[in-house]
Amino acid sequence: MYEVYVTTRFSAAHQLRGYDGKYENLHGHNWTASVTVEAKELDEIGVGIDFVELKRMVDDFLSKLDYHNINEVPPFDTQNPSAENIARWLFKQLEAAIDKQHARVKRVEVYETPESGAAYFE
């Protein structure tokens, strides 16, 4: 098996509804998202999935959040924009978008700061 990784960054504000403390208030982060795709074989040029293609897909989805108040962007207008929920949302978007027999999204990590983040995998 092979794993292919891309990491990208975006800037956005959010607030955790119902949080008992300051994180219920609107605040911003420079977020990092890391995506792992697993491939059971390589294509004719020897890659599991093209980094560039994968990063373009990830950036496309994250452009919906970049420089936005995430709480106003569906589904986070009704679902709390925690790192966990954002990681699951990105995983599901990518799962539907990666149209390859031999490669599938394995893990999505979302960091609010370099020290704190969450991951989603199945």
Ligand X SMILES: Nc1nc2c(c(=O)[nH]1)N=C([C@H](O)[C@H](O)COP(=O)(O)OP(=O)(O)OP(=O)(O)O)CN2
Residues 6+ apart with CB under 8 A from 28: 11, 12, 13, 14
Using Cβ positions, the residue closest to Zn ion within the complex turns out to be: 112
Minimum CB distance to Zn ion, residue 6 (Å): 23
102 carries a ligand binding annotation = no
CB of 25 to Zn ion, least distance (A): 10
The item of ligand X, Zn ion, none sharing an interface with residue 17, based on CB under 5 to 8 Å by kind, is none
Interface with Zn ion in residues 96-115 (CB under 5 A): 112
Torsion angle defined by CA atoms of residues 18, 21, 26 and 31, in that order, rounded to the nearest 10 degrees:
-100
Written as six digits, the tokens of 73 are 């962007």
Q: How far is the CB of 2 from ligand X (least distance, A)?
A: 30
Describe the strand order of the beta sheet including 2-14 as a list of residue ranges: 2-14, 27-39, 103-113, 116-121
Site residues (vs Zn ion, CB under 5 A): 112
